[in-house]
Structure 1
Amino acid sequence: MEKKNKKDINRRDFIKIVGISAATSTALLYGCSSKNNSASSSATGEREIPTDKMTYRISPTTGDRVSLLGYGCMRWPLKPAPDGNGEVIDQDAVNGLVDYAIAHGVNYFDTSPAYVQGFSERATGIALSRHPRDKYFIATKLSNFSPDTWSREASLRMYHKSFTELQVDYIDYMLLHGIGMGGMDALKGRYLDNGMLDFLIKEREAGRIRNLGFSYHGDIEVYDYLLSRHDEIKWDFVQIQLNYVDWKHAKATNTRNTDAEYLYGELHKRGIPSIIMEPLLGGRLSKLNDNLVARLKQRRPENSVASWAFRFAGSFPDILTVLSGMTYMEHLQDNLRTYSPLEP
């Protein structure tokens, strides 16, 4: 498999990937049981997943045609380490998931130097580099959370390492990661006082970054401050937490959160596309109580509980893509059904 990682997927392999059925792919490729997965094939039936019906949205700044379903690479499947000490990323499983996603229209992959104990970018890069570069968009982040990475030198090392790990010479979507955590002091230390925001803007001008944005958690003052500079910076996108609970009741689930209605509204009035994280509220919206499940099933018997949350998140016009951390093939297949095409 190691040799195959370094080669492009050939046409025969691609056809095989497309032809994997919903019933066999989960059982044979990954052996994961539906009881461990919120978006199981038993919940959705075995309705065929089309390869040419994915819903796409167009970026107003670059014209990118982005799949409404985006692949969040924070929860890649793991396997026992060869030396018996802990776990490592299951690269064969990652390759299979990426191949299947691309074959069914997914083209947006979101990672970070901080994900999966620091190995997500490498695993994502191995899987994606087997496909033509124009078949996918890579999003990654300057995840300089720790104060020992706030210096310009340390932040630059992290930035340049992302290119090496992802095996690319440009990054499609680069994010300031998790602004709002730590308030204005952290924003100044991580991106302003060290000149990194100015550096990233220049990298966009040079073409090594195609779209520049940020992801938000926490202090709303930071969010509002960065949006107040939109005329100067010209943000290409912003990543926010949005789901049907957080739309009006974010504080009820996490006191650090701000209602998505406000977050999305501020972006909408500036014409900034939104990228959505946590459409399932950390998985909680796929595990509702029996009464709510019964009501949803009465309306759409063949659809999963999770599909309602994904449909909600995808229904807003200025949303570019909705991220899902799909560890198992069952999750991927269910979300593909929801967005191929989206029924708002």
Structure 2
Amino acid sequence: MVSYAPSSADRQSNSRSTGVNGSAKSDRTPGTPRRERKEKAVQDPGLKDYRLGECLGKGAFGSVYKAFNWGTGEAVAVKQIKLGDLPKSELRMIEAEIDLLKNLNHDNIVKYLGFVKSSDCLNIILEYCENGSLHSICKSYGKFPENLVGVYMGQILLGLQYLHDQGVIHRDIKGANILTTKDGKVKLADFGVSTSTLAGADKEAQSCGTPYWMAPEIIQLSGATPASDIWSLGCTVIELLEGKPPYHKLAPMPALFAIVNDDHPPLPEGVSPAARDFLIQCFQKDPNLRVSARKLLKHAWIVGSRRTDAPVAKPPTNFNEAVEAGEAVE
């Protein structure tokens, strides 16, 4: 049976699943200007060492800003939540997110740097990822090539292996929650609906996540497991290769029925046999048969995906060499 009741986090999935960059969605009407990009940050007196700048994204209860540390010269992201109208249930979720983040330390997970609470705001200070989310990059530049998707998934699997070893289930893996640095490293972000397997059965928010990336056991209210993240990872691979997640042409409720009833989501045409097999491993309907992040790191598609960094030519040391190099090109 499909039983899906959107949680408060899910109802705001386009605003709360922002990470710490420009992947956040506003509630603007299509065709209207992106006013949040022009908004001036309100400087919280509690943020003594930080100067807030560009608004990177706006959610239901606050915004994410790029900020500058006057003491260190470091650029960070500040997730500023206004406390005035914040429901207690949302505050508990945010506090749980902070408790989770401060105990995580991995290269492929956005780093938590601290928080500052004042009478009006709660400011969560996070690592700044310059290139934004994979979702925003895909939207701006188009579909990703298969090899690069494989490179990214290898890094995300390392992050997931670490999370799962810590007893943490992310529960909202998708392109909007994977951030990129200027040197091409990817990091998992937005732990607002994450949970710990160490805390017992996942009953309170078992329908959390975003519908098109949601594993069938979540929809059927069987509870989240680390295998649920693997299903969502497979959906993210399709999102990056196709530019859209599986079942994107369907409204959320019909999509949820299709996820439960189909053998697996439609696979992209033209992908390599290795990538196809990787997706089939992610989309085992029985979560007990789904391959772990640790095993997927050894999959042929991941092992065979490598960055294609072009060698940098040695720059000419003087004017004459520069002229000769120019003549050689001609």
TM-score bucket (shorter structure): under 0.3
The TM-score normalised by the length of structure 2 is: 0.27
Which structure is larger by alpha-carbon Rg, 1 or 2?
A: 2
The TM-score normalised by the length of structure 1 is: 0.26
- Structure number with the bigger relative contact order (C-alpha 8 A, sep ≥ 6) is 1
